């Protein structure tokens, strides 16, 4: 079973920031938080990942709470092309024998509206 909980759907106005929450209250100290998104019928696209610190790349920012029990993916200026299903995944630590396996939950369907 997935170790994360996400709202099933969210709306965001185009040009505004989209903040997607994820709960992972049973996360272990050495497990990473990964975010992927899947635009309709395409393969999932990697967005960002982090362990403890906040992370930022050209696509998004990842904010992880200090107790690591939840995180938020931020798309700073959402566009219509950001409409997709966003998956938050807790991944076994690097070096674990199961790290080649991702466990997907149901994700959050983000609808960006004009």
Partner 1 sequence: KAGVTQTPRYLIKTRGQQVTLSCSPISGHRSVSWYQQTPGQGLQFLFEYFSETQRNKGNFPGRFSGRQFSNSRSEMNVSTLELGDSALYLCASSLKGQETQYFGPGTRLLVL
Across 58-88, b (16+ Cβ under 10 Å) vs e yields eebbbbbeeebebbebbbeebeeebbbbbbb
Does residue number 8 form part of the binding site for partner 1 (CB under 8 A)? no
Q: Are 62 and 56 in contact (CB under 8 A)?
A: yes
Residue 45 sits in the site that holds partner 1 (CB under 8 A): yes
Q: 24: which residues sit within 8 A by CB, 6+ positions away? A: 3, 4, 5, 33, 68, 69, 70, 71, 88, 90
Interaction between residue 28 and partner 1 (CB under 8 A):
no
| Residue 81 binds partner 1, judged by CB under 8 A | no
Contact between 79 and partner 1 by CB under 8 A: the answer reads no
Give me the least distance between CB of 46 and partner 1, in Å please: 5
Measured from the CB atom, the residue of 54 and 106 that comes closer to partner 1 is 106
Q: Tell me the closest approach of the beta carbon of residue 106 to partner 1, in angstroms.
A: 6
Pick one of 43, 53, 58, 81: the residue that binds partner 1 (CB under 8 A). Answer: 43
């Amino acid at each position: 079973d997935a170790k994360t909980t996400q709202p099933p759907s969210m709306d965001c106005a185009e040009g505004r920031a989209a903040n997607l929450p994820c709960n992972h209250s049973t996360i272990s100290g050495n497990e990473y938080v990964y975010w992927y998104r899947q635009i309709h019928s395409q393969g999932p696209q990697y967005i960002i990942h982090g362990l403890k610190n906040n992370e930022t790349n050209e696509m998004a920012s990842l904010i992880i709470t200090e107790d690591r029990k939840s995180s938020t993916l931020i798309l700073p200026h959402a566009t219509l092309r950001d409409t997709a299903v966003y998956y938050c995944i807790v991944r076994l630590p690097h070096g674990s024998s199961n790290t080649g396996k991702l466990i997907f939950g149901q994700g959050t369907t983000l609808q960006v509206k004009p």
